[in-house]
Amino acid sequence: MNSRGHSLFPIIVLLLLAGVSVWLDRVTQQEETVRADKSQHEPDFTADKLTLRRFDLTGKTQYILVADRMVHFGDDESTELTRPRLDYLNRPEPVRMESDFATVSKDGETVVLNDNVYLRRAAQPGKPESTLRTERMTVWPDDEKMRSDAPVTLTQGKTVVTADRMESDNIVGNIRLQGQVRGTLYRNTPTPKP
């Protein structure tokens, strides 16, 4: 009887090894299936009250990005921002951009602002405050460039201009309006000389 138990021992061990092998194979296949399923666009992390500061080569703050909420998605490395505000501080006149919602590209170089996009350039001596309103705008923060394929309304003091599309380079100071461009232009009143 004892020899019969010894002869069954290798068979029992082989059956256990086969069972464990089948189990491991099934478990690893299920994990690969879950990892390969990128159709689920679910956040992998979120943050509330986000503040991001970008510095130029001299160490001065170039811009500050603030958002009420940030949601990052691991499947496509995209980021969504709720109520983002972007303040450029390295200009003679500070500039603020804000919207209700924004998406940030994988590399962080492109920001698409959506819904109630508003830009405000502070007034300077001899130059009144400037604003821009649109529903959608693409911004390249590091290059300080913007483009909107949606209608825009620009104001500077009492001057009001509307256009179907716009491109802007903040560093150079160029704005290019396209499509149906209409406006009422007012001259700045020169400062009287004493």
| Counts of helices then strands in the chain (DSSP H, E) | 1, 14
User: What average pLDDT does the structure give for the chain?
Assistant: 80
- Residue 146, judged by CB atoms within 10 A of its CB (0-12, 13-18, 19+), counts as buried
pLDDT tens digits, 8-50: 666 666 666 666 666 667 767 755 544 545 567 788 888 899 8
Residue 124: the pLDDT is: 83
Q: What angle do CA 140, 146, 150 make, to 5 degrees?
A: 130
Strand partners, 38: none
CB 169 within 8 A of CB 113: no
Intervals of the chain under pLDDT 50: 1, 33-34, 36
Sign of CA dihedral 20, 24, 26, 27: positive
- Residue 105: phi and psi, rounded to 5, are -65, 165
pLDDT reported for residue 108: 79
Q: What is the pLDDT of residue 37?
A: 53
| Cα→Cα distances 95→28, 77, 81, 130, 133, Å | 53, 28, 19, 9, 14
pLDDT at 118: 94
What CATH topology corresponds to 43-184?
lipopolysaccharide transport protein A fold (2.60.450)
Specify the pTM. 0.69
So what's the pLDDT on residue 174?
86
- pLDDT, residue 191, reads 56
User: At residue 30, what are phi and psi to the nearest 5 degrees?
Assistant: -65, -40
